[in-house]
Amino acid sequence: MCVKLSLLDRSRTRVGHSDGAALTHTVERAVTAEGAGYHRFWVAEHHGVPGIASGSPAVLLAAVAGRTQRIRLGSGGVMLPHHQPLVVAEQFLVLAGLHPGRIDLGVGRSLGFTDPVRRALRRQMEEPDTFATDIAELRGFLERTAPVTARPVVEETIPLFVLATGAGLTVAADLGLPVVLGGPVLDDPALPQTLAGYREAFRPHRDSQPHVTVSLDVLVADTDAEARDLALPEVWAMAQSRRTGLFDALEPVAAIREQLGDPLGNNRQRERIEGALDRVTAGSKQTVRRRLEQLAARSGADELLVSGSTYDRDALAASDAAVASLLR
């Protein structure tokens, strides 16, 4: 696979550990990712989600940058509906001024997780979609073509990425920007045609070229069964969120199995969880390599942005190292 490999961490909380520990864990994961040879390390923005500790990518990236030396750092992503483009530009220009040549800026259009969160963010579902114009304004500040000069002034132009599904691909193509694609669209049989449309419609900005990053959860262990166990805490949290409305901290595998009974609960519950586990790219090195090669071939991806969460941090570190070894 002739693709770059990057890592996304969502600062997932874990039962028995504080939210602050989740942030420390993100920084530590970035340090090990740099040592493993990952190209980029990205963090995410989520507001008011119980199982995710960080709602401020720029602040968290400052901490990560202080503990790393070479790896590129970015956001996957800053949700522009919640921010003024000038403020986002200033935050990332500060990072670029302190850590030249290492900062990326991924932007998305997702609104808050719940109605109370959206109200707190002063953004409601029915408001006009200004995503494309916000990106154009943001780029103007980063490239110093706007009426206001965002500071600090830096020599480099910070790369912009669009987190895209559906209409986001059109926005990225119109603005000549790279895309980051993830979720159910990766399983769509029409994925090759969808991305061909992006590449054909791409309107270069300066010397930009189409660039596709595919983002997916990946976990590797010695066997497929062990890797599926690693995926269980995240799948369980998601299943519980649909029942309770709360996306909670990751739990140990043993505790989950105790709640479910072993095998995984009643037949209906077992089918749901097993189906969700099937959608995670989790397995031995051989299994994961095969799946990633298939995805790279279908998408023509230039880069893989892998994520994956589990309760056992030692097993997660081993998984990250194993994924990195697949592309060496």
> What is the tens place of the pLDDT at every residue in 273-283?
888 899 899 99
pLDDT at 155: 92
Confidence of residue 299 (pLDDT cuts 50, 70, 90): very high
Q: Is the pLDDT of residue 241 over 80?
A: yes
Superfamily assignment of 4-220+285-326 in CATH? Luciferase-like domain (3.20.20.30)
Q: Is the pLDDT of residue 265 over 70?
A: no
Compute the mean pLDDT over every residue in the chain, rounded to the nearest whole number: 92
Task: Answer whether the bond into residue 263 is a cis peptide, omega within 30°.
Answer: yes
| 122-166 pLDDT, tens digit each | 876 667 788 999 999 999 999 999 999 999 999 999 999 999 877
Quote helix, strand, coil % in the chain, to nearest 5.
50, 15, 35
pLDDT at 258: 85
Inter-residue contact 76 to 159 (CB < 8 Å): no
Indicate the domain borders of the chain.
Answer: 4-220+285-326
- At position 58, the amino acid (one-letter code) is A
Task: For residue 40, give the nearest of 141, 138, 178 by alpha carbon.
Answer: 178
Mean pLDDT over 83-111 rounds to 96
Q: Could you tell me where the DSSP H helices lie in 71-114?
A: 85-98
Asked whether the whole model's pTM tops 0.85, one would answer: yes
Q: Residues with Cβ < 8 Å from 187, sequence gap 6 or more?
A: 279
- Which region among 51-65, 108-122, 268-282, 306-320 has the lowest average model confidence (pLDDT)? 108-122
| 90-102 pLDDT, tens digit each | 999 999 999 999 9
Q: Is the pLDDT of residue 203 over 70?
A: yes
pLDDT at 1: 66
Q: Is the pLDDT of residue 62 over 90?
A: yes
